[in-house]
Amino acid sequence: MNHKKRVIIVGGGFGGLSAAKALGGSEAEVVLIDRSNHHLFQPLLYQVATAALSPADIAAPTRALLARYTNVSVLMDEVTGLDAAGKKIKTANCGSMSFDYLVLATGAEYSFFGNDHWRAHAPTLKSLEDALRIRSRLLEAFERAEREQDPVEIRRLLTFVVVGGGPTGVEMAGAIAELAKTALKRDFRRVGAGDLRIILIEAAGGVLSAFPQELSEYSAQALRAHGVEVMLQTKVSGIDKEGILTDGGRIRSANVVWAAGIQARPAAQWLKADAARNKAVRVYADCSVPGHPDIYAIGDVSSFEPTPECPLPGIAPVAKQQGRYVGKAIRARIAGRGYPAAFRYYNWGSMAVIGRSSAVADFGWLRLKGWNAWLAWSMVHLLLLIDFRSKVSVYVNWAWSWFTHRRGARLLTSPTSSDVAATFEGETKEVNA
């Protein structure tokens, strides 16, 4: 008796979820493994970190999203290793599991370029836990500044530094500026705009360097118009509990957010495979790993190079298209239809929001900035949200914020017992995200 082919998908992000859906209803037994029980819409994660949205607005239970596919099961577990020759994966809780086909969609994490000790003082933004930690730090900073007597300490508490001028850094800096202005203007009495400082640090000569120069320059100007100091060609040499050290001097800050440098999670190490500079697995044109035709790598964990000098970017549309492609490819192979044509990425454009009514969009044939780009960005992100409830909730929150100039998720829960309080008191704790 022929057994059902087992397909294991590691990672429930855009790529993994798309692959699982493409395999839904097939003859295969599909198992999706992820460390969390939810699918996260990462492009709006910074809005949770800055109190514009709540976690449930941008996340949905993975099981619910795949419930209609009876051949797909979900395991909340962590993959710790891989036996490629024996076709087995190792997990933290379920032990080893065999597979016929494996899809690696484990994503990426931030790199501190060998300075991992900075992580204790500069949170990154990759998960809901990260976003909530940053939100607590930001809101706690205002609360502490309100009761602080020392003007120097108030200045440190209300100095916010974002490192990295890519889309996440730019969007984060702009959102902090909006949060700070709305919070200080209406709700606080003892601190004011003169105590506030928001800084974006970028080592290169411009922000959003992947965008055309005119949109990059507009973004820097728009950030400055929102009250953000943009420090270009500035390198970070140290981060500690007092703030950040750059080649231009020390900046005292209680809130440093790291949004620079992305590296793939350790799939290449598991496979002992050839990796790109960012540790991503180099793959063939069908997204399979060289030497392992039944193992695929997609999204941020893979390095797909249509041309050697131009690998595909680590963005959600790439992961989603690769996930659909690989799911259909495995489905065809199981049905005996052979290998499909090489994967081809369709670039629908890039967008980044800078602040209220301010964004940039590059569709290749059309470039937008300002209000028109912001409107296009809003519509596209609403359409891309995974379920109807999220679309409605986000729309209502955005509309409310637009008309009232307020943030709807500014809640602190037990701040004095959190790692936030420890950080402000000069202590450090490891936070497992």
142-147 contacts, C-beta under 8 A, 24 or more apart: 142/180, 142/183, 142/184, 142/188, 142/191, 143/412, 143/415, 144/424, 145/188, 145/190, 145/191, 145/195, 146/188, 146/189, 146/190, 146/191, 147/190
* pLDDT tens sequence for the chain (433 residues): 457 899 999 999 999 999 999 999 999 999 999 999 999 999 999 999 998 888 888 999 999 999 999 999 999 999 999 999 999 999 999 899 999 999 999 999 999 998 999 999 999 999 999 999 999 999 999 999 999 999 999 999 999 999 999 999 999 999 999 888 877 767 888 887 788 999 999 999 999 998 999 999 999 999 999 999 999 999 999 999 999 999 989 999 999 999 998 888 888 888 888 888 888 999 999 999 999 999 999 999 999 987 666 788 888 899 999 999 999 999 999 988 877 889 999 988 899 999 888 999 998 889 999 999 999 988 888 888 877 677 788 877 777 676 666 666 667 775 443 444 444 444 333 333 3
Range of the domain at 275: 6-35+77-110+262-334
The answer to whether residue 69 sits within a structural domain is no
- 204 and 155 in a common domain: yes
pLDDT of res. 251: 97
pLDDT of res. 272: 85
- 325 and 314 in a common domain: yes
Catalytic residue among 27, 109, 129, 171: 171
- 280 and 134 in a common domain: no
pLDDT of res. 404: 64
CATH code at 321? 3.50.50.60
Please spell the DSSP secondary structure of 220-255, one letter per residue.
Answer: HHHHHHTTEEEE-S--EEEEETTEEEETTEEEE-SE
Residue 42 contacts residue 386 (beta carbons within 8 Å): no
The answer to whether residue 53 sits within a structural domain is no
Q: Give the residue from 281, 305, 334 where a domain finishes.
A: 334
pLDDT of res. 428: 38
- E strands, 113-212, in order: 159-163, 197-201
d(CA 268, CA 160): 36
Residue 20 contacts residue 9 (beta carbons within 8 Å): yes
pLDDT of res. 419: 47
The answer to whether residue 226 sits within a structural domain is yes
- Structural domains counted in the chain: 2
The answer to whether residue 368 sits within a structural domain is yes
The answer to whether residue 432 sits within a structural domain is no
CATH code at 214? 3.50.50.100
Q: Is 171 a catalytic residue?
A: yes
